[in-house]
């Protein structure tokens, strides 16, 4: 069984060009059984108006797909915070896809920073950032026969300090969900991910920037005993032709349940 997380950067390649066939080929090549995606577009002009969740689900052979918008409108321009999963129009957010059924689905809303945050951008100088809202998709996936796993997928901001508060808050909100629990996503933190959550890192590999990665911003974390999930047999952060992040893959031997490890 393979679990993976991937910040797809709206499906754009390193060349800045969006190509739907290239995007689908990359997703298929990951061969993931459970896949968390971040920076996912739906009906956005920059990605050809495509529903990237649906395309990814088709490419990997998913039987369950969840898209949770964080905003409606255009990221970085005019947008409004999302409050549900079914509103029409251009949207942007996170997705969770699975080759096994998902149940007990929840969408957790994570508060954005209450004020605009000044940051220093290379080549630009001081900018004032209006932080986008965040979500976590939580579901139960029966990756082992008769032993469901809780999966939470999220994307946290790069705002210093605030991202740490959000991650700690998310870990508290997940306390009532049963173990084993997998937290997948671009958390925009490195070693602090395990310290702030108390979870175990199932993979350690730099994922950003994609061309020459030196930072691990993307994580697959486990809460609960490892033997309740299975034995980790391989991890990887392969170079692909989409995004400024690399995907993070974890193969787990679950005793034949779930999908193939790939």
Domain at 53, CATH number: 3.60.10.10
Indicate whether 86 pLDDT > 60: no
Most confident segment among 2-11, 71-80, 82-91: 2-11
Tell me, what's the pLDDT at 128? 59
Indicate whether 87 pLDDT > 70: no
261 part of a folded domain: no
The pLDDT tens digits of the residues spanning 92-146 come to: 999 999 999 999 999 999 887 776 665 555 555 566 566 788 999 999 998 877 7
What is d(CA 115, CA 131) in angstroms, rounded to the nearest whole number? Answer: 8
pLDDT band at 60, cuts 50/70/90? very high
Residue percentage of the chain with pLDDT more than 70: 89
pLDDT band at 225, cuts 50/70/90? very high
- 189 contacts: CB under 8 Å, gap ≥ 6: 156, 163, 164, 167, 196, 217
Q: What angle do CA 101, 104, 105 make, to 5 degrees?
A: 85
Residue that is written with structure tokens 């997380």 in the block = 5
Domain extent for 193: 2-253
pLDDT band at 43, cuts 50/70/90? very high
Tell me, what's the pLDDT at 121? 52
Which of 121 and 201 is assigned the larger pLDDT?
A: 201
What's the DSSP call for residue 157? -
Which of 262 and 121 is assigned the larger pLDDT?
A: 121
Tell me, what's the pLDDT at 81? 84
- The total of structural domains in the chain comes to 1
- Which whole number is the average pLDDT over 42-69? 97
The pLDDT tens digits of the residues spanning 143-175 come to: 877 789 999 999 998 877 889 999 999 999 999
Let me know: does 82 contact 94? Beta carbons within 8 Å: no
13 part of a folded domain: yes
242 part of a folded domain: yes
Sign of CA dihedral 208, 41, 202, 255: negative
pLDDT band at 260, cuts 50/70/90? very low
202 part of a folded domain: yes
Nearest to 88 by CA among 105, 67, 104, 63: 67
208 part of a folded domain: yes
Tell me, what's the pLDDT at 195? 96
Tell me, what's the pLDDT at 115? 61
Tell me, what's the pLDDT at 190? 96
Neighbours of 75 (CB within 10 A): 18
- Which whole number is the average pLDDT over 188-198? 96
260 part of a folded domain: no
Tell me, what's the pLDDT at 122? 53
258 part of a folded domain: no
Mean pLDDT of the chain: 90
Tell me, what's the pLDDT at 39? 97
Tell me the pTM: 0.92
């Amino acid at each position: 069984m393979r679990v993976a997380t991937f910040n797809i950067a709206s499906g754009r390649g390193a060349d800045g060009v969006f190509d739907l066939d290239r995007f689908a080929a990359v997703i298929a090549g990951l061969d993931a059984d459970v896949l968390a995606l971040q920076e996912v577009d739906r009906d956005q002009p920059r990605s050809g108006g495509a529903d990237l969740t649906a395309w990814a689900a088709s490419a990997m052979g998913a039987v369950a797909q969840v898209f949770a918008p964080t905003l409606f409108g255009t990221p970085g321009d005019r947008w409004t915070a999302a409050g549900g999963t079914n509103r029409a129009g251009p949207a942007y957010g996170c997705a969770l896809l699975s080759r096994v059924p998902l149940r007990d689905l929840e969408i957790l809303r994570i508060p954005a920073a209450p004020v605009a945050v000044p940051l220093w951008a290379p080549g630009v100088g001081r900018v004032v950032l209006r932080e986008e809202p965040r979500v976590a998709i939580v579901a139960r996936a029966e990756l082992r026969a008769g032993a469901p796993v809780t999966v939470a997928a999220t994307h946290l901001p790069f705002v210093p300090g605030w991202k740490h508060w959000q991650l700690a808050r998310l870990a508290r909100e997940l306390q009532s969900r049963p173990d084993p629990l997998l937290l997948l996503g671009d958390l925009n933190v490195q070693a602090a991910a395990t310290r702030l959550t108390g979870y175990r890192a199932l993979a350690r590999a730099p994922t950003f920037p994609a061309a020459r990665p030196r930072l691990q911003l993307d994580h697959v974390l486990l809460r609960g005993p490892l033997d309740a999930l299975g034995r980790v047999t391989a991890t990887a952060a392969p170079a692909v032709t989409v995004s400024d992040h690399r995907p993070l893959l974890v193969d787990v031997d679950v005793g034949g349940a779930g999908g193939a490890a790939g």
